[in-house]
Structure 1
Amino acid sequence: MAIFARKSLPPWLVILLSMVSGVLAGLLLGQQAQWLKPLGDLFVALIRMMVMPVIFVSLVCAVTALNDLSRMRRIAVKTLLIYALTMMLSAILSMVLAETFAIGKGLHYAHQSVVQDMAMDWSSLMPTNPVQAMAQGQVLPVMLFSLLFGLAINLCGEAARPVTHFFDALNQVIFRLISMLLRLAPLGVFALMAWVTANNGLGMLSQLASLVGTLYLSCLLVLTVVYGGLLRLAGLNPLPFMNKMLPVQLFAFSTCSSNAALPMTLDTANRLGVRQTISAFVLPLGSTINMNGLATYLGAVAIFAANAAGVELSLLQKLMVVLTTTLGAMGAAGVPGTGLVVMSLVLSSVGLPLEVIAIVAAVDRIIDMINTSTNISGDALAAVLVAKSEGEFDDARYAEVSRA
Structure 2
Amino acid sequence: MAEKSKKMSLTTKIFISLLVGLAVGVIFNLWVPKGYIRDTIIVDGICYVIGNGFIRLMRMLVVPLVFFSLICGAAAIGDTKTLGKVGGKVILLYICTTAVAVTVALSLATVIKPGVGLDMSSIAKSDVSTASQTSMVDTILNIIPENPFNSLSEGTMLQVIVFALIVGILLAKMGERAELIANFCTQCNDLMMEMTNMIMGLAPLGVFCMIMRTFANLGFDAFVPLLKYIGNVILGLGIQCFVVYMIIFFTFTRLSPIKFFRKFFPVMAFAFSTSTSNATIPLNIETLEEKMGVSRRISSFTIPLGATINMDGTAIMQGVAVVFAAQAYGMNLGIQGYLTVIATATLASIGTAGVPSVGLITLTMVFSAVGLPVEAITLIMGVDRILDMLRTAVNITGDAVCTCVVAFQNGDLNKKVFNDMSLVKKDV
Equivalent in the alignment of 2:116: 105
1:57 to 2:68 alignment = yes
| Equivalent residue for 1:162, pick from 180, 184, 189 | 180
CA distance 1:280–1:58, shift in 2 (3 Å): closer
CA distance 1:284–1:136, shift in 2 (3 Å): closer
Instruction: Provide the C-alpha distance between the structure 2 equivalents of 1:204 and 1:7, rounded to a whole number of angstroms.
Output: 33
Equivalent in the alignment of 1:390: 410
Matches within 5 A, 1:298-309: 298-309=318-329
SS at match of 1:127: coil
TM-score by length of structure 2 reads 0.88
Structure 1: gaps of 5 or more residues:
1-5
Equivalent in the alignment of 1:3: none
1:162 Cα shift?
0.9
Contact 1:175–1:336 (CA<8 Å) still a contact in 2?
no
Equivalent in the alignment of 1:17: 16
Corresponding letter in the other structure for 1:192:
M
RMSD between aligned alpha carbons?
1.9
C-alpha deviations, 1:281-329, integer Å up to 9, x for none?
2222222322121111111111111111111212222122122222222
Contact 1:56–1:146 (CA<8 Å) still a contact in 2?
yes
1:115 Cα shift?
4.3
1:82 to 2:119 alignment = no
| Equivalent residue for 1:209, pick from 210, 224, 227 | 227
1:239 to 2:258 alignment = yes
TM-score by length of structure 1 reads 0.93
1:361 to 2:372 alignment = no
Structure 2: gaps of 5 or more residues:
none
Instruction: Provide the C-alpha distance between the structure 2 equivalents of 1:292 and 1:124, rounded to a whole number of angstroms.
Output: 25
Equivalent in the alignment of 2:132: 117
> How many percent of aligned residue pairs carry the same amino acid?
33
Equivalent in the alignment of 1:94: 105
Contact 1:258–1:287 (CA<8 Å) still a contact in 2?
yes
SS at match of 1:125: coil
Matches within 5 A, 1:4-403: 8-30=7-29, 32=38, 33-35=43-45, 36-110=47-121, 111=124, 112-120=127-135, 121=138, 122-234=140-252, 235-270=254-289, 271-335=291-355, 337-402=357-422, 403=424
Once the two structures are overlaid, the 10-residue window that deviates more, 242-251 or 26-35, is 26-35
Corresponding letter in the other structure for 2:24:
A
Instruction: Provide the C-alpha distance between the structure 1 equivalents of 2:142 and 2:308, rounded to a whole number of angstroms.
Output: 31
Contact 1:108–1:199 (CA<8 Å) still a contact in 2?
no
Contact 1:59–1:150 (CA<8 Å) still a contact in 2?
yes
Instruction: Provide the C-alpha distance between the structure 2 equivalents of 1:55 and 1:316, rounded to a whole number of angstroms.
Output: 24
1:50 Cα shift?
2.0
Once the two structures are overlaid, the 10-residue window that deviates more, 172-181 or 191-200, is 172-181
1:199 Cα shift?
2.3
SS at match of 2:351: helix
CA distance 1:392–1:340, shift in 2 (3 Å): same
SS at match of 2:314: helix
SS at match of 1:66: helix
Contact 2:272–2:390 (CA<8 Å) still a contact in 1?
yes
Instruction: Provide the C-alpha distance between the structure 1 equivalents of 2:186 and 2:26, rounded to a whole number of angstroms.
Output: 46
Instruction: Provide the C-alpha distance between the structure 1 equivalents of 2:153 and 2:322, rounded to a whole number of angstroms.
Output: 23
Instruction: Provide the C-alpha distance between the structure 2 equivalents of 1:66 and 1:170, rounded to a whole number of angstroms.
Output: 18
CA distance 1:251–1:127, shift in 2 (3 Å): closer
CA distance 1:124–1:285, shift in 2 (3 Å): closer
Once the two structures are overlaid, the 10-residue window that deviates more, 367-376 or 274-283, is 274-283
C-alpha deviations, 1:164-189, integer Å up to 9, x for none?
11001011112222222222211211
Contact 1:55–1:345 (CA<8 Å) still a contact in 2?
no
SS at match of 1:265: helix
Instruction: Provide the C-alpha distance between the structure 2 equivalents of 1:394 and 1:303, rounded to a whole number of angstroms.
Output: 43
Contact 2:102–2:319 (CA<8 Å) still a contact in 1?
yes
Instruction: Provide the C-alpha distance between the structure 2 equivalents of 1:126 and 1:248, rounded to a whole number of angstroms.
Output: 39
Contact 1:269–1:380 (CA<8 Å) still a contact in 2?
yes
1:257 Cα shift?
2.4
Contact 1:179–1:337 (CA<8 Å) still a contact in 2?
no
Contact 1:328–1:342 (CA<8 Å) still a contact in 2?
yes
Aligned length: 399
Instruction: Provide the C-alpha distance between the structure 2 equivalents of 1:200 and 1:29, rounded to a whole number of angstroms.
Output: 10
Corresponding letter in the other structure for 2:281:
L
Instruction: Provide the C-alpha distance between the structure 2 equivalents of 1:94 and 1:151, rounded to a whole number of angstroms.
Output: 31
Corresponding letter in the other structure for 2:75:
T
C-alpha deviations, 1:189-223, integer Å up to 9, x for none?
11111111122212322222211111111111111
Once the two structures are overlaid, the 10-residue window that deviates more, 109-118 or 366-375, is 109-118
